[in-house]
């Protein structure tokens, strides 16, 4: 097949580099040019093909310049209206020409009309298409005609039969009633006239089901293979010792929930194995993940290994350090903090202590995986808010443990719950523990939606809360002026609130402050010295001030659901009932209105995450562009839940009984993208 350089470059833009890529460049929709409708029988709002003779054509200039042609077929007439047209089309669509139109009929100013239909001049009695017309995803400068020609050149080749050989064993094909892969590809490129257009468009046809199953299976196979490869590595066996653990639990002023105990039992079992743990700990905001992580770190320390906790922000890292120091130092455990903002001398001292093994637990930001950090005996890596770190950052920290042949165990934590279908699909290479209950004594959070023009009511509520001895957050999305977004800034809001409440001590925290200044502001708020804290979203995760019972989030319509839910979780951490006020500016966009409705009606993070997935899709939800995950092209993890479950079950069977076919299947669908898998 000869392809020009210009066309080849455009194909590359579509991800088409091989003949297999071309065959798997499947249509996004279809047009039915196999049937003709009489104009009188064609229903408005329906995509139809009609044929008739042009009886009148003219260019009109009001309300704007457009070409209008009246077409008759003996049963009735309609108007073809072209708002954008070339001068050559005026001549082409002359009176007396026979045309065939494909489009949607609707009622317009001229009566029944088609606006910019697909139109071609035909001879009388010209035969109809013998298959549905596929419409392919394309790019600028690459026409449907060229794509269709290239695909049809490849389809009938004998080599195609080899390219499309079966990679799924007959037992699995029969079990899930799947049709042949080759037949599916041929069918989708050239559906016969009797094909159900609805089934093709909705991708519920058996041919589409086979393609989607194959794609999901490739994803599951690659994830499970990666999981097995990791389990072939050696890790330190950190069996439960329970001496320090028991002392730690006895000094706590509360008891663990059943969900926390279950999660730690799963983690503890994994730490005692000779292969590296790779576990994700999920829990809603305030569910108590930190204490489970602390117990895991203790188990590593009791086995004379080091543990490291990595957090995405200095505020969260500092909070973890303060909390864990309070818990661990009475037990005689040496704990250190490491962040990018520390002075070189401070860092060097921590680096030396880590390398010598003097530090048993180190907590920090991305500074933990810098070249200068060398662990003595790293046994466990804990990554908080794991989705905020890229694949390579997570891998860099794990590699710190490779001074020997042993790979450290890894525990990842997330307060952004992941819907079950997404977890099964994109986290199939992980073991997952879920904390699905909140500790007793947590107060319910009431969410209120308030338009910006009711700001005075919000001010009055803040005054009342502070008079009652409570503390308040005021969250702003930006810290400096932006003409395009026109958002209130934290600095400006702080100044305004200081004028409104001259009798209150009002703090300000944002990302531009030094680590020392941030820590000082947060400490003052935690100690109750500050009544009102104006902040950007740097307080989104981890900040725990039980006396804070009111939060105001400005420009809430600009934020995502996960962020709103995380911010809301900063209140309601004590026994008092708490309120979160979402202030928004009108008019609201449709997507913003949906987001605010979801956060207003739901407090369960898992349900919010599920709805967020439906709104945004997996790519946006996971931040896949940053994390490097290969996304699905055809399957949808929510709509294709049954197929996903089947692929999930089939993957282990193929890896166990048909390893060669499994490898061929991965190569077909992922190729070199397998290197993007989670580490």
Report the C-alpha gap between 360 and 651 in whole angstroms: 40
State how far the Cα of 180 lies from the Cα of 185, in Å rounded to an integer: 9
**pLDDT, tens only, 226-247:** 888 888 889 999 999 988 999 9
pLDDT at 488: 57
d(CA 562, CA 38): 52
**Residues 600-616: tens digit of each pLDDT:** 999 888 888 888 887 87
15 within 8 A of 142, measured Cβ to Cβ = no
**Residue 594 resides in a domain:** yes
Pairing mode of beta strands 77-82, 578-584: unpaired
Report the pLDDT value the prediction gives residue 540, as an integer from 0 to 100: 57
404 and 462 part of one domain:
no
What's the confidence (pLDDT) of residue 372? 85
pLDDT at 477: 77
- pLDDT band at 536, cuts 50/70/90? confident
User: What residue has token string 């194909």?
Assistant: 11
pLDDT of 274 > 60? The answer is yes
Enter the tokens of residue 338: 């490491």
* Region 652-663 average pLDDT: 95
Whether 421 shows a pLDDT value over 90: the answer reads no
Check whether residue 459 and residue 431 sit in a common domain.
no
Predicted pLDDT of residue 43:
86
Q: Which ranges of 193-334 would DSSP assign to H, the alpha helix?
A: 197-201, 206-231, 243-251, 258-271, 289-302, 314-328
Are residues 541 and 569 part of one domain? Answer: yes
Range of the domain at 73: 36-127
76: in domain: yes
- In percent, the amount of the chain with pLDDT more than 70 equals 91
pLDDT at 646 over 90: yes
CATH code assigned at 392: 3.40.50.300
Whether the per-residue pLDDT at 148 is higher than 60: the answer is: yes
Q: Which helix (H) or strand (E) holds 667?
A: helix 659-669
Based on the fold, state whether residues 598 and 453 are members of the same structural domain: yes
Q: Are residues 380 and 293 in the same domain?
A: yes
Same domain, 519 and 544: yes
* Count of structural domains within the chain: 3
What is residue 624's predicted lDDT score, i.e. its pLDDT? Answer: 45
Q: Residue 675: pLDDT above 70? A: no
Q: Are residues 465 and 584 in the same domain?
A: yes
Split at pLDDT 50, 70, 90, the class of 389 is very low
Q: Confirm whether 473 is domain-assigned.
A: yes
Same domain, yes or no, for 287 and 317? yes
pLDDT-derived band at 433 (thresholds 50, 70, 90) equals very high
- The answer, yes or no, to whether residue 164 has pLDDT greater than 70, is yes
* CA 312 from centre of chain: 18
* Domain assignment present for 655: no
pLDDT of residue 262: 96
**Reduced DSSP (H G I as helix, E B as strand, rest coil) percent helix, strand, coil of the chain, to 5:** 45, 20, 40
Three-state SS letters, 391-415:
HHHHHHHHHCCCCCCECCEEEEEEC
Where is average pLDDT lowest: 60-64, 542-546, 592-596, 641-645?
542-546
Whether 257 has a pLDDT exceeding 60, the answer reads: yes
β-pairing verdict for 506-509 and 532-535: parallel
**pLDDT class of 73 with cuts at 50, 70, 90:** very high
Given a cut of 50, whether residue 626 has pLDDT beyond it is no
Query: Which of the listed residues 392, 412, 435 is the one where a domain comes to its end?
Result: 435
- Tell me what pLDDT residue 390 has: 46
The CATH number that applies at residue 120 is 2.40.50.140
Q: Looking at the domain assignment, is residue 534 inside a domain?
A: yes
**Same-domain status, 486 and 431:** no
CA 421 – CA 637 distance, rounded (Å)? 6
Which of 229-233, 361-365, 470-474, 537-541 has the lowest average pLDDT?
537-541
Q: Give the pLDDT band (50/70/90) at residue 679.
A: very low
Q: What is the pLDDT of residue 553?
A: 94
In a domain, 12, yes or no: no
CB 266 within 8 A of CB 433: yes
> What average pLDDT does the chain have?
87
How many percent of the chain have pLDDT more than 90? 58
For residues 288 and 428, membership in a common domain is answered with yes
* Residues 365 and 290 placed together within one structural domain of the fold: yes
CA distance 578 to 551: 8
- pLDDT confidence tier of residue 380, bands split at 50, 70 and 90: very high
Average pLDDT over residues 643-650: 94
Report the predicted TM-score, pTM, of the whole model to 2 decimal places.
Answer: 0.76
Q: What is the pLDDT of residue 470?
A: 93
Residue 179: pLDDT above 70?
Answer: yes
pLDDT at 241: 92
End residue of a domain, out of 367, 402, 435: 435
HEC string of 492-543? HHHHHHHHHCCCCCEEEECCCCCHHHHHHHHHHHHCCCCCEEEECHHHCCCC
Which DSSP symbol is given to 34?
A: S
pLDDT band, very low/low/confident/very high, at 106 (cuts 50, 70, 90)? very high
Whether residue 625 has pLDDT greater than 50: no
Q: Is residue 492 part of a domain?
A: yes
- Give the pLDDT confidence score for residue 400 in this predicted structure: 56
Q: Per-residue pLDDT tens for 542-599? A: 567 889 999 999 999 988 888 898 889 888 877 778 999 999 999 999 999 999 999 9
Contact 298, 264 (CB under 8 A): no
What pLDDT does 559 receive? 87
pLDDT tens-digit profile of 212-223?
999 999 999 988
Distance CA 275, CA 237 (A): 8
**Which distant-in-sequence residues (6+ apart) come within 8 Å of 676 by Cβ?**
391, 628, 629, 630
CB 15: neighbour CB atoms within 10 A?
A: 11
Q: How confident is the model at residue 623 (pLDDT cuts 50, 70, 90)?
A: low
Give the alpha-carbon dihedral of 285, 291, 296, 298, to 10 degrees: 160
For the segment 161-168, the average pLDDT, to the nearest whole number, is 91
| Statement: residue 308 has pLDDT above 50 | yes
Span 631-643, average pLDDT: 88
Q: What is the pLDDT of residue 627?
A: 46
Averaged pLDDT, 65-89: 93
**Confidence tier at 396 by pLDDT (50, 70, 90):** low
Q: Is residue 632 included in any domain, yes or no?
A: no
- Inform me whether the pLDDT recorded for 160 exceeds 80: no
- In this structure, the answer to whether residues 399 and 523 fall within a common structural domain is no
Among 127, 145, 173, the domain boundary falls at: 127
Phi-psi region of 71 (alpha: psi -120 to 50; beta: other; left: phi over 0): beta
Asked if residues 382 and 293 have their Cβ atoms less than 8 Å apart, the reply is yes
């Amino acid at each position: 097949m000869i392809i020009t350089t210009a066309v080849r470059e455009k194909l590359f833009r579509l991800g088409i580099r091989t003949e297999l890529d071309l065959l798997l460049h499947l249509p996004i929709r279809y047009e039915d040019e196999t049937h003709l409708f009489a104009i009188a029988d064609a229903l408005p709002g329906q995509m139809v093909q009609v044929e008739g003779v042009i009886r009148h054509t003219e260019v009109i200039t009001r309300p704007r310049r457009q070409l209008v042609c009246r077409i008759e077929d003996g049963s009735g007439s309609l108007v073809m209206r072209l708002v954008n047209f070339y001068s050559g089309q005026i001549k082409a669509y002359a009176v007396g020409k026979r045309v065939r139109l494909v489009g949607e009929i609707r009622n317009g100013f001229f009566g029944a009309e088609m606006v910019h239909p697909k139109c071609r001049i035909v001879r009388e009695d010209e035969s109809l298409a013998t298959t549905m017309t596929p419409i392919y995803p394309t790019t600028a400068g690459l026409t449907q005609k060229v794509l269709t020609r290239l695909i049809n050149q490849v389809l009938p080749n004998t080599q195609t039969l080899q390219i499309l050989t079966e990679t799924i064993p007959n037992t699995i094909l029969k079990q899930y009633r799947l049709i042949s892969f080759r037949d599916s590809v041929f069918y989708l490129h050239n559906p016969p006239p009797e094909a159900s257009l609805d089934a093709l468009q909705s991708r519920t046809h058996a041919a589409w089901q086979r393609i989607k199953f194959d794609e999901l299976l490739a994803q599951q196979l690659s994830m499970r293979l990666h999981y097995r490869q990791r389990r072939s590595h050696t890790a330190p066996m950190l069996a439960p010792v329970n001496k320090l653990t028991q002392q730690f639990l006895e000094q706590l002023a509360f008891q663990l929930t059943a969900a926390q105990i279950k999660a730690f039992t799963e983690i503890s079992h994994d730490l005692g194995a000779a292969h590296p743990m790779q576990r994700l700990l999920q829990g809603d905001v305030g569910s108590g993940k930190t204490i489970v992580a602390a117990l895991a770190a203790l188990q590593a320390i009791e086995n004379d290994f080091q543990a490291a906790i990595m957090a995405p922000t200095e505020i969260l890292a500092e909070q973890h350090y303060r909390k864990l120091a309070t818990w661990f130092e009475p037990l005689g455990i040496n704990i250190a903090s490491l962040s990018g903002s520390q002075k070189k001398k401070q860092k060097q001292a921590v680096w030396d202590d880590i390398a010598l093994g003097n530090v048993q637990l180190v907590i920090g930001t991305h500074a933990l995986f810098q070249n200068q950090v060398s662990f003595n005996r790293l046994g466990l890596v804990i990554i908080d808010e794991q989705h905020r770190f890229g694949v390579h950052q997570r891998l860099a920290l794990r590699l710190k443990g490779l001074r020997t042949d042993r790979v450290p165990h890894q525990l990842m934590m997330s307060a952004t719950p992941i819907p079950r279908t997404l977890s099964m699909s994109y986290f199939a290479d992980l073991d997952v523990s879920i904390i699905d209950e909140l500790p007793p004594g947590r107060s319910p959070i009431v969410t209120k939606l308030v338009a910006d023009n009711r700001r005075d009511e919000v001010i009055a509520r803040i005054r009342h809360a502070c008079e009652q001895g409570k503390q308040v957050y005021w969250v702003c999305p930006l810290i400096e002026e932006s003409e395009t977004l026109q958002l209130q800034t934290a600095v400006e809001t702080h100044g305004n609130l200081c004028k409104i409440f001259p009798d209150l001590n009002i703090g300000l925290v944002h990302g531009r402050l030094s680590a020392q200044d941030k820590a000082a502001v947060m400490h003052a708020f935690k100690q109750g010295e500050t009544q009102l804290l104006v902040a950007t979203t740097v307080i989104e995760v981890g900040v725990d001030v039980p006396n804070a019972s009111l939060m105001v989030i400005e420009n809430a319509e600009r934020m995502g659901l996960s962020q709103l839910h995380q911010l809301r979780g900063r209140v309601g951490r004590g026994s008092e009932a708490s309120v979160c006020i979402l202030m928004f500016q009108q008019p609201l966009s449709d997507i913003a209105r949906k987001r605010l409705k979801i956060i207003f009606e739901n407090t369960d993070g898992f349900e919010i995450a599920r709805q967020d997935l439906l709104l945004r899709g997996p790519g946006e939800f996971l931040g896949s562009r940053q994390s490097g995950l290969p996304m699905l092209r055809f399957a949808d993890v929510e709509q294709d839940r049954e197929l996903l479950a089947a692929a999930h079950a089939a993957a282990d069977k193929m890896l166990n009984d048909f390893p060669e076919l499994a490898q061929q299947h991965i190569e077909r669908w992922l190729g070199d993208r397998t290197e993007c898998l989670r580490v």
